[in-house]
Structure 1
Amino acid sequence: MTKSAVQVKFPYRYDVVGSLLRTQALKDAHAKYNAGQINADELKAVQHEETKKIVAKQVDLGLKDITDGEFNRSWWHLDFLWGLTGVEKYDYHKSYKFHGSKTRTDNAELSGKVAFNPDHPFFDSFKFLESITPDGVTPKQTIPSPTMLFRDNRSDNWSKFYDTWDQYLDDVAKAYHETILHFYELGARYIQLDDTTWAFLISKLNATADDAKAHAKYVKLAEDSVKVINKLLEDLPDDLTVTTHICRGNFKSTFLFSGGYDDVADYLGQLNYDGLFLEYDSERAGDFTPLAKIWNGDQHKRIVLGLITSKSPELEDKDAVINRIKQASEKVPLDNLALSTQCGFASTEEGNKLTEQQQWNKLKLVRDIAKEVWNVD
């Protein structure tokens, strides 16, 4: 059975991006662990207990797919990358400069050839998530896109381990492919690859339009990203949904990148994902014109409109959001659209500037609007 013949189940009409605000109990446990007051097993016990609570909350909201809130990690991307064979943690001594805030200085670098790690800690985390997910609900696993290895100096020393850049890219794609297959073997049927690279490229491709040499560098990054992503997606099981979230940066309610999708729309349209989560919560994202290229006429693919912001507590106007969905449907058929918040609520453990209740109110609004627009349960 081909992918196009499989009935689209996910992304669901109202979907959850991934991360959720860390509970106070989890924050307190991390503080005690860092102070040496509890051990790793005691920390994990608290993490599991708090994960149960936020899974139950998502189920109570009626979400058809749920996540563990990324309660098993500090960073949305680095914790996963550190778990791959051939990648290790180091202090970059520089922070990511968000608009109005700076992050910690953790980073990742190559320590050998990149490969699948059967003992990656995320596998145990998924097994726990699946064990507490009730029947009729799908556990969704989020991981960073492999493109996150190509940026921020993480691949600077690739030539120590590879004769060519293409050999390195092939290994990255293979490591990801095998990782996704192992998640599938553990029961995963919905996996999302989170990616800030495309928003980074939006800013760089536009800024270097008059500098051919600099522009070519970013075109190469875009082309390599398409190549690696599509290679890792080859020959995956037909009943496995793999999506991506195109993120513009999310740290303490701040952001990294601005600009419409025009400069990357052709590349995004080449990606063989089952769905793309696109941030559209502010004018920084531009208009809906590029949607037609991004969807690219693929009847199997869903575009998830991130029209509800996770960065502020104020609830959006329901009618205004419905009107924007109608506008988007002029570019992509309504049947190929869905709704979510523009990002998760805590891409890092610090979290955005709103309360847990305000977070749940946002997700409830996503659900209520989607039920009305698409007439779903």
Structure 2
Amino acid sequence: MTNKTTTLTKAPFRADHVGSLLRPDNLHQARKEFKEGTVTAEQLREVETKEIKRIVDKQIEVGLELVTDGEFRRTWWHLDFLEHLNGFEGFVPETGYVFEGVETERYNVRNSGKISFNPEHPFIKDFIEFNEIVGGRAVAKQTIPSPNQLFNIGIRDENIYPDIEEYANDIIQAYKDALNAFYDAGVRYLQLDDVYIAGLSAPDIPFNDGACSRDQLIDLALRVINGVLEGKPEDLVVTTHLCRGNYQSTWAFEGSYELIAPTLLAKEKVDGFFLEYDDERSGDFKPLEHVPNGGAKVILGVVTSKNGEIEDKEAIKARIQEAAKHVPHDQLCLSPQCGFASTHHGNKLTEEQQWEKLKFIVDLSKEVWG
């Protein structure tokens, strides 16, 4: 394989990042006071906006060509979006998500009616304001949960949707409408965060009640994503991030990409795959051979967001070269393995360490790709 490179003229970028950023103390305090009823929603939003402006400037300062809003207006990376789709509601379950050594805060969504996209979805207004803050200084990246998150056990109401195919079709249409709404709002770089698909690669995780086999669920996940992307605007870049869980620096499951690679890495019609490769839980790079040459970019998450220690530069370069044995070097990019705060709690590192990690990625990407 050749190491000759070309400059990427559109997203994903050689140095990219997944999305979420650590919430500062004043935002935590404002959220607490809002829950207690001592500040208004408008006052909370003012604090969020102030901090979004600050982190946009900081992302540009460390050299990133894209910026996110850090997901500062959210509590969870996924639930805030999903509960504002028509046909879903948030609720407090008996247990939270189970992570390595910890149970998360208890909150989830469930199907409550027929599914469609809500044209008044708050994320549309949030992006318009965010994009105005960015002001063309970088590419404004929008992150949302994958439609496949809605296939986790216990979400679908079988009295409303006895047929999973009807459920899937309505989800596909809702997300197609969402993509069009985001596009009309100015989004040109959209990321679908997908723990569900990554979970299908974990051999020990039961992702269904026995009604469907794992292979059937993998096939359905592919059809859902490709159905959503069918007919999307050509200049809308869509990537997907495959995540094994990220809650206060812990993880939910492990497993290589081997089980899903022949279907999802080979056939999913996205422009890039953000793949976690920061430790042995993700296996080796061999499954990358299924990504078509000249197809989707592979954004290697070989820099961890779970702690603040800066990786050895030569070790990261060696891992990139190892990955390049399986997918062309020019098709690779670099990012943290996940966001720094998939929930409002955040991972166990400081904000200064977070910025050092992102600058490390920017500087290293210039050394590797020029």
Report SS of the residue matched to 2:134. coil
Q: Distance in 1 between matches of 2:149 and 2:162?
A: 21
Deviations 1:238-260 (A, max 9, x none): 11100000001000000011111
Instruction: Work out which of the residue numbers 294, 315, 319 in structure 1 matches 2:314.
Output: 319
Q: Distance in 1 between matches of 2:279 and 2:11?
A: 25
Post-superposition offset of 1:270:
1.3
Structure 1 residue 191 and structure 2 residue 190: aligned? yes
Find the counterpart in structure 2 of residue 365 from structure 1.
360
Instruction: Work out which of the residue numbers 269, 272, 282 in structure 2 matches 1:275.
Output: 272
Post-superposition offset of 1:90:
1.1
Post-superposition offset of 1:217:
2.4
Post-superposition offset of 1:321:
0.2
Equivalent pairs, count: 360
Q: Distance in 2 between matches of 1:47 and 1:239?
A: 30
Report SS of the residue matched to 1:203. coil
Find the counterpart in structure 2 of residue 291 from structure 1.
288
Contact map agreement 1:80 1:144 (CA 8 A) in 2: yes
Equivalent residue letter for 1:287: D
Post-superposition offset of 1:331:
0.6
Q: Distance in 2 between matches of 1:313 and 1:152?
A: 34
Find the counterpart in structure 2 of residue 242 from structure 1.
238
Structure 1 residue 337 and structure 2 residue 332: aligned? yes
Structure 1 segments of 4+ aligned residues over 6 angstroms from their partners: none
1:193-212 matched pairs, under 5 angstroms: 193-204=192-203
Find the counterpart in structure 1 of residue 258 from structure 2.
262
1:1-377 matched pairs, under 5 angstroms: 9-155=10-156, 157=157, 159-162=158-161, 164-204=163-203, 214=210, 217-268=213-264, 269-293=266-290, 295-297=291-293, 299-375=294-370
Contact map agreement 2:197 2:221 (CA 8 A) in 1: no
Q: Identical aligned pairs, as a percentage?
A: 45
Report SS of the residue matched to 2:213. helix
Report SS of the residue matched to 2:201. helix
Q: Distance in 1 between matches of 2:125 and 2:173?
A: 21
Contact map agreement 2:199 2:205 (CA 8 A) in 1: no
Gaps of 5+ in 2: 1-7
Gaps of 5+ in 1: 1-6
RMSD: 1.5
Deviations 1:257-311 (A, max 9, x none): 1111111111222110000000000011111110011x123x1410000010000
Q: Distance in 2 between matches of 1:74 and 1:94?
A: 18
Q: Distance in 1 between matches of 2:101 and 2:95?
A: 16
